[in-house]
Amino acid sequence: MQDVTSAASVSAGRGREPGPAPAPVAAPGDLLHRLRQRHTTDPVTHVERVPPRAGTPAPWPRWAPEELRSAYARRGVTAPWQHQAEAADLAHDRRHVVVATGTASGKSLAYQLPALATLLADPRATVLYLAPTKALAADQLRAVAELDIEGVRPACYDGDTPRAEREWIRRHSRFVLTNPDMLHHGILPGHAQWSGFLRRLRYVVVDECHVYRGVFGSHVAHVLRRLRRQCARYGDPAGPTFVLASATSGDPAATAGRLIGLPVVAVTEDTSPRAGLTFALWEPPLLPADRPAPAPAPRRDPDVPRPGAHPSRPTHPLSDATPDALAPGAEAVPELADLTQVRRSALRETADLLADIVAAGVRTLAFVRSRRGAEVVATSARRSLDEAVPGLGARVAAYRAGYLREERRELERALLHGDLLGLASTNALELGVDLVGLDAVLICGYPGTRASLWQQAGRAGRSGQEALAVLVARDDPLDTYLVHHPDALFGAPVEATVLDPANPYVLGPQLACAASEAPLTVADLELFGDSAKETVEALVEAGALRQRPTGWYWRHRERPEVDLRGEGGAPVCVVEAATGRLLGTVDGGSSHFLLHPGAVYLHQGVSYVVDTLDLDDGCALVHPEEPDWSTHARDVTSLSVVSVRSYVDAGPVGLFLGEVDVTSQVVSYQRRRIATGEVIDTRPLDLPARELRTVAVWFTLSPESLVAAGVEPADGPGALHAAEHAAIGLLPLLATCDRWDIGGLSTAMHPDTEAPTVFVYDGHPGGAGFAERAYGTAAAWLKATRDAISECGCESGCPSCVQSPKCGNGNNPLSKPGAVRVLDVVLDNLPQ
């Protein structure tokens, strides 16, 4: 098995001077064939050939005015594709519609067409366009402005809009482009100034609506309800027509309907043309057994009983809290812990593939989840190439977010002309850089959603030429599952965007905002959902609202302070003690895990050690230091069931959805040698416990059913714990969340359920919809979990199946075979 560098495989080019870009030498199939020779075992688990597709054009809708048709013709669009025409027709008929088709399928035309036709037909009508980012709104502004339709006067209205221009826009623009944050903070509170615009509002476009998920999505859902309320107050009670654009996902109509609170029709058949693509799924090989073992759990003194050794006594629960600051892109990158892994790391594998493909003269973009990871890939690929052909390494670069516009243009130019052949980037590249003419894309680790995967893969392919995309699996249950179940990537989408507008932690603040904009009436409450009445009463109780005969009034002079994207408490500042320099912030929920005294904190590749954490001031003082150990916080978590919303009684198995209180306390941390993963010591910490009321899904099994399935009582805790880890890892398959959004807890005996239990909970106060989705799709979710574990080639559990990078118990105890038996019992009894 080859595990050094790719020098051998690129040595064919030795001695050649780097010249102009060689023409692509190989068809994707041949190139792939060459790449898979690098290991003794074939790392490719599946090759999907996505055939080229000719587009299906449709005639312009009869209602589309000539002026608009010729404006598009000037931009090179002679007819819409069929799905564009279909969606435009629905919107024109005033049906709310979501277009959920692939990247670059022309979703803009689907909403521009009815919106602009209406603006032309009715000189007073207005349109509001919402994008999740300012950059996207600016792009769309350019596109609409280029059509140059008279009297539309499109304009962006966001935090960057100069005060002097704002009034002009409110009065004169008929196509306003903004974002949900500005709608929430600026437009709705100032609705009186916008009354003319809102009265005449005919269309609301919600672009990239799959971004509105989880807690953020739940907030946006209410911002849209507040918008509908103001439109009804000033104008047509029927309100504007919503046109939404989404990446492909499971059940887009239901998700869009939940977002806007109205029934929505979905258009999902993509009729735009595309180039052919060869898409390979790549699993790095297992390392030989003589490599260092995976991150060893602390060795217990043999005299100390293992948890579960006394099955008659309830054992302490095993928890996996949710330090979400470690989300993708954060600085502490589990994937960099190279030497503690059982599989060859996805980063090294990607670096070698990048070197090989560049050596073949093929223009390649590698997507890596973290910035440090992108730099590691670029550096390592450069080194391999230079060893083979001195100077060739210079044709590989790393791209990071924050480049200036000129730098980005220079990069685009270098890649276009072949001075640069390989680029490693985070997905920051998804926005703002226009790269054309790429022949291959490497994706290092599943980017989290199918939408992102296809967006990244879609970067490859110039006109008429077949391109290559390779997904390199990371050492993680979801990645492993996906490369062995290609249907989950290439078949009908099952991953749904979830949000939960009923979350009381979102609904309460949003109702306060609504009341501060105009007193709430009984009729309004219906708009905000079933639990609005109850929540309004709680707000009265808390002194936020006052009830009068005419409605509920906001009692304060200032507006309620509600941040749509704020989660997990106030952020903690990380400050360099000697200089007072602010290095960055960590969200409150994660600060105990990442910034406890003694923690090693990485910032832009530089290592710091935390001296003090002052929770009252929200500040951690650090000093630069590069110790040869890493730190891993351990926590103790308990969970109590508050209420059960729904359950399935399946004989020896129970499945539940309900509210829970999670109490967790970071109590100690381990120092581990970076080189070997060896535990140096465990040090105590003195941090306060924290409470989280949230939504959980849980399953219970009778102790007898476990014994009957061959799970010895002593093995129970490890079996449940392993099943819990993998279940957390696989949930993103069904709901667009990150494993860092979810926590879990397993126990051989829980006082509230009086049975062996596995809990999986939303890591956000009040829930975010993930546990609810898990409950609704439990059979599919747990089946995928079971398969991911049983199909993993490791002997007794590894990060690809049952180990978790964020385990509060150092991945101990874990029983891989026990987890499969536990899940078999659940699946045998649960109704499908």
Per CB under 5 A, residues contacting Zn ion are: 320, 792, 794, 798, 800-801, 807, 809
Taking the complex as a whole, how short is the minimal distance between the CB of residue 480 and Zn ion, in angstroms? 7
Coil vs helix vs strand at 319: strand
Taking the complex as a whole, how short is the minimal distance between the CB of residue 254 and Zn ion, in angstroms? 33
Specify whether the CB–CB gap between 737 and 636 falls below 8 A.
Answer: no
Q: Is 316 exposed, middle or buried (0-12, 13-18, 19+ CB in 10 A)?
A: middle
Taking the complex as a whole, how short is the minimal distance between the CB of residue 718 and Zn ion, in angstroms? 10
Taking the complex as a whole, how short is the minimal distance between the CB of residue 801 and Zn ion, in angstroms? 3
The identity of residue 570, as a single letter, is: A
Taking the complex as a whole, how short is the minimal distance between the CB of residue 660 and Zn ion, in angstroms? 17
Taking the complex as a whole, how short is the minimal distance between the CB of residue 315 and Zn ion, in angstroms? 13
- Nearest to 21, CA basis, from 272, 361, 328, 275: 361
The per-type count for the chain, helices as H runs and strands as E runs, is: 26, 28
Instruction: Tell me whether residue 29 or residue 810 sits nearer to Zn ion (CB atom).
Output: 810
Specify whether the CB–CB gap between 358 and 385 falls below 8 A.
Answer: yes
- Nearest to 68, CA basis, from 88, 82, 86: 88
Coil vs helix vs strand at 167: helix
The identity of residue 515, as a single letter, is: A
Taking the complex as a whole, how short is the minimal distance between the CB of residue 798 and Zn ion, in angstroms? 4
- Strands of the sheet containing 126-130, edge to edge, are 154-156, 175-178, 126-130, 201-206, 241-246, 97-100, 265-267
Q: Is 558 exposed, middle or buried (0-12, 13-18, 19+ CB in 10 A)?
A: exposed
Q: How far is CA 825 from CA 514, 730, 796, in A?
A: 48, 18, 20
Q: How far is CA 20 from CA 361, 392, 419, in A?
A: 10, 11, 7
Instruction: Tell me whether residue 469 or residue 798 sits nearer to Zn ion (CB atom).
Output: 798
Taking the complex as a whole, how short is the minimal distance between the CB of residue 343 and Zn ion, in angstroms? 9
Instruction: Tell me whether residue 377 or residue 794 sits nearer to Zn ion (CB atom).
Output: 794
Taking the complex as a whole, how short is the minimal distance between the CB of residue 803 and Zn ion, in angstroms? 8
Taking the complex as a whole, how short is the minimal distance between the CB of residue 797 and Zn ion, in angstroms? 6
Instruction: Tell me whether residue 335 or residue 356 sits nearer to Zn ion (CB atom).
Output: 335
Taking the complex as a whole, how short is the minimal distance between the CB of residue 693 and Zn ion, in angstroms? 22
- Residue 2's CB is within 10 A of a number of other CB atoms, namely 14
Instruction: Tell me whether residue 311 or residue 817 sits nearer to Zn ion (CB atom).
Output: 817
Specify whether the CB–CB gap between 127 and 205 falls below 8 A.
Answer: yes
Taking the complex as a whole, how short is the minimal distance between the CB of residue 320 and Zn ion, in angstroms? 4
Taking the complex as a whole, how short is the minimal distance between the CB of residue 291 and Zn ion, in angstroms? 15
| Phi and psi angles of residue 316, each rounded to the nearest 5 degrees, phi first | -70, 145
Specify whether the CB–CB gap between 384 and 10 falls below 8 A.
Answer: yes
Taking the complex as a whole, how short is the minimal distance between the CB of residue 816 and Zn ion, in angstroms? 7
Q: For the chain, what is the radius of gyration of the CA atoms?
A: 28
Instruction: Tell me whether residue 103 or residue 480 sits nearer to Zn ion (CB atom).
Output: 480
DSSP secondary structure of 785-816: HHHHHHT---SS--TTTT--TT-TTTT-S--H
Which run of H or of E encompasses 83? helix 82-92
Cα torsion angle, 4, 10, 14, 17, sign: negative
Instruction: Tell me whether residue 79 or residue 297 sits nearer to Zn ion (CB atom).
Output: 297
Residues with Cβ within 8 Å of 369's Cβ and at least 6 positions away in sequence, in order, are 328, 329, 333, 335, 426, 427, 444, 445, 447
Instruction: Tell me whether residue 468 or residue 798 sits nearer to Zn ion (CB atom).
Output: 798
Instruction: Tell me whether residue 131 or residue 727 sits nearer to Zn ion (CB atom).
Output: 727
Instruction: Tell me whether residue 282 or residue 528 sits nearer to Zn ion (CB atom).
Output: 282
- Nearest to 369, CA basis, from 444, 455, 478, 449: 444
- Nearest to 456, CA basis, from 445, 441, 467, 470: 441
DSSP β-bridge partners for residue 699: 655, 758
Q: Kind of pairing, strands 742-747 and 318-320?
A: antiparallel
Instruction: Tell me whether residue 176 or residue 801 sits nearer to Zn ion (CB atom).
Output: 801
Q: Is 94 exposed, middle or buried (0-12, 13-18, 19+ CB in 10 A)?
A: middle
- Nearest to 59, CA basis, from 23, 24, 22, 86: 86
Please give the distance of CA 150 from its chain centroid, rounded to a whole number. Answer: 40
Taking the complex as a whole, how short is the minimal distance between the CB of residue 613 and Zn ion, in angstroms? 24
